[in-house]
Structure 1
């Protein structure tokens, strides 16, 4: 037992937190970081300057608390999402992880369950533990897909209180059909289950891929979660949000901390939303690089999954850790997600994507020869 773990175990830690490890990915000092699905394009200069100006203006009033209801931001987010949404349908917090945490604080807790379908976002069980919510995992099929029938059966059997569906899914990158969401929602009627569709990567989806936003009318237990970390290149600003029936936001007001979104955060998000066009132009370039990765990996005989996200999950590797290490030695860091035979890589700039493809091609060639 490590000294750190011994010190931790001397504290009166809650039983369901003992033995857990915090969320994290390797943070190494290498030239090309393609391991945590960041938007590597950065902010266009016009957006950078707009944020600097907005933050400067907000700083003049930092002696006062921010708008507790962040009304202007909620209005701007509703305009961005469209689908007939208004400010009353929107909630926001410090990253989509805090949004999910607040949902579990309101609808999870002792004696309640969170159901999800791994492999999926690794924060879901940690958020469940943090809110003392039982986590129920129902594995996906061998091809990492889930069918409406399987989802409905799992929701009914677990009598789940909260169901979370990640679409596009992390780490596989694949989007869910709306029939899967509908099946989960209908199956959850008996247990009055909240159904969350985590659409953190929605802006990167292929044209024609539907959003669960279209399912919101008439479904008061359905929540669609989004983030500004990815498409808006604001990972460092920590802005996440959701769209749902107005009573969902009312429920979250019961558990949120006072003035939880700072004036600086609100100003940053508003400035970015005013320049959504420039930021989404970068998204189109990222999608091009993602598709380059898919095609390039397939040409090498590897097995990339279809991706509606800003990353590519790929298999066909006999020794994924050796490939990960080999790329690291060339200055390219990607993600070993712990799934046998697979790795995950973020789609970066054209130069970063080229470096990854050249690096893995060289590795594959050396292993064949």
Structure 2
């Protein structure tokens, strides 16, 4: 048998929502219920040019993202989802045997990429309110000599809350490596992004953004990293030459100039998020406060409930049981009004 590397032999890949369900009422992956491209987008020029390779620098898309996020173009990296930026940060800024800090509980991709790159994970527990307190790195007790990256997700997945701007900035000042802030859900929070702070020369912040959530384009696979231009130059150097296809890039340019689209998408989620939270409360459930487009709902029999919803009702939510702080819970994406009504009806039958 062909010999595998030790990392490949023991590696446990990330299990995405679409590994488990491709059909039904999908409220498991924090997608936007009214996303996609419902209007005509003229791609004639792009399609006619598909015989040629795209621009390796992705310059048009980087300029559009820079305008949308109010940062310089040279401070923007464009990738195949923000997951590509996470992957490249490990490749460019860690070596096997190094460590990364991860504010937990959080998105599983950071630990998956650490394992794939033979990098150890040191957990940095969030507080009881799932926020990162100022002084979390006091005395350097949590920081080993080989710590290279610190990952924090805000709003956090799966808890849904902003973890605290002051705590993040305090950690970035104290941490000797790069502090990576995943802002995939920030548009739903009403809070200012840290993108402009990250884009400054000499900054140790890296901010991740995406078109998958508020923009409603998860299938496009377009994400961004915003950082000191020197950091972005490294990511540009180590990425694959043609990491984004021409069609995805052209659509990204088109939608980033449509602020009204973003406002409408976010407004719909905020309205339905409040209604869904109230309706769950009426059923005796207590979802955590959310600044994102989903709710984390503690429930003693969450795993069984998730299975009943899928098998009996063809309604798919995400089982998030196993968190140290909340042993049994499910996460539900905020859908359209019709989606949420169908979910609640199915929930009532499964709880009866």
For 2:207 and 2:27, locate their aligned partners in 1 and report how far apart those are by CA, in whole Å. 26
Give 2:67's aligned residue.
79
Deviation of the 1:133 alpha carbon: 2.2
Out of 180, 188, 192, which is 1:204 matched to? 188
Give 1:69's aligned residue.
57
After TM superposition, the structure 1 = structure 2 runs for residues 307-346 of structure 1, keeping only pairs within 5 Å, are 307-315=290-298, 317-328=299-310, 329-339=312-322, 340-346=327-333
Distance 1:218 1:295, change over 3 A: farther
For 2:212 and 2:26, locate their aligned partners in 1 and report how far apart those are by CA, in whole Å. 16
Give 2:120's aligned residue.
134
Out of 197, 202, 219, which is 1:236 matched to? 219
Out of 99, 118, 121, which is 2:107 matched to? 121
Give 1:195's aligned residue.
179
Gaps of 5+ in 1: 1-9
Bigger drift between 179-188 and 166-175 goes to: 179-188
Given that residues 17 and 129 in structure 1 are in contact (C-alpha distance below 8 angstroms), is that contact kept between their aligned partners in structure 2? Answer: no
After TM superposition, the structure 1 = structure 2 runs for residues 14-53 of structure 1, keeping only pairs within 5 Å, are 14-24=5-15, 25=17, 26-28=19-21, 30-43=23-36, 45-46=38-39, 49-50=40-41, 53=42
1:226 paired to 2:209: yes
For 1:155 and 1:277, locate their aligned partners in 2 and report how far apart those are by CA, in whole Å. 46
Give 1:105's aligned residue.
91
Given that residues 151 and 181 in structure 2 are in contact (C-alpha distance below 8 angstroms), is that contact kept between their aligned partners in structure 1? Answer: yes
Distance 1:322 1:127, change over 3 A: same
Deviation of the 1:251 alpha carbon: 1.0
For 2:73 and 2:22, locate their aligned partners in 1 and report how far apart those are by CA, in whole Å. 41
C-alpha RMSD over aligned residues: 2.0
Deviation of the 1:292 alpha carbon: 1.6
SS at match of 2:226: strand
For 2:260 and 2:4, locate their aligned partners in 1 and report how far apart those are by CA, in whole Å. 47
For 2:244 and 2:300, locate their aligned partners in 1 and report how far apart those are by CA, in whole Å. 46
Aligned residues: 343
Deviation of the 1:311 alpha carbon: 0.6
Deviation of the 1:291 alpha carbon: 1.7
For 1:11 and 1:139, locate their aligned partners in 2 and report how far apart those are by CA, in whole Å. 40
Gaps of 5+ in 2: none
Given that residues 300 and 328 in structure 2 are in contact (C-alpha distance below 8 angstroms), is that contact kept between their aligned partners in structure 1? Answer: yes
Deviation of the 1:153 alpha carbon: 5.7
Out of 326, 339, 353, which is 2:340 matched to? 353
Distance 1:352 1:136, change over 3 A: same
Distance 1:152 1:234, change over 3 A: farther
Bigger drift between 60-69 and 270-279 goes to: 270-279
Deviation of the 1:171 alpha carbon: 0.7
Give 1:288's aligned residue.
271
Deviation of the 1:149 alpha carbon: 2.2
For 2:264 and 2:234, locate their aligned partners in 1 and report how far apart those are by CA, in whole Å. 36
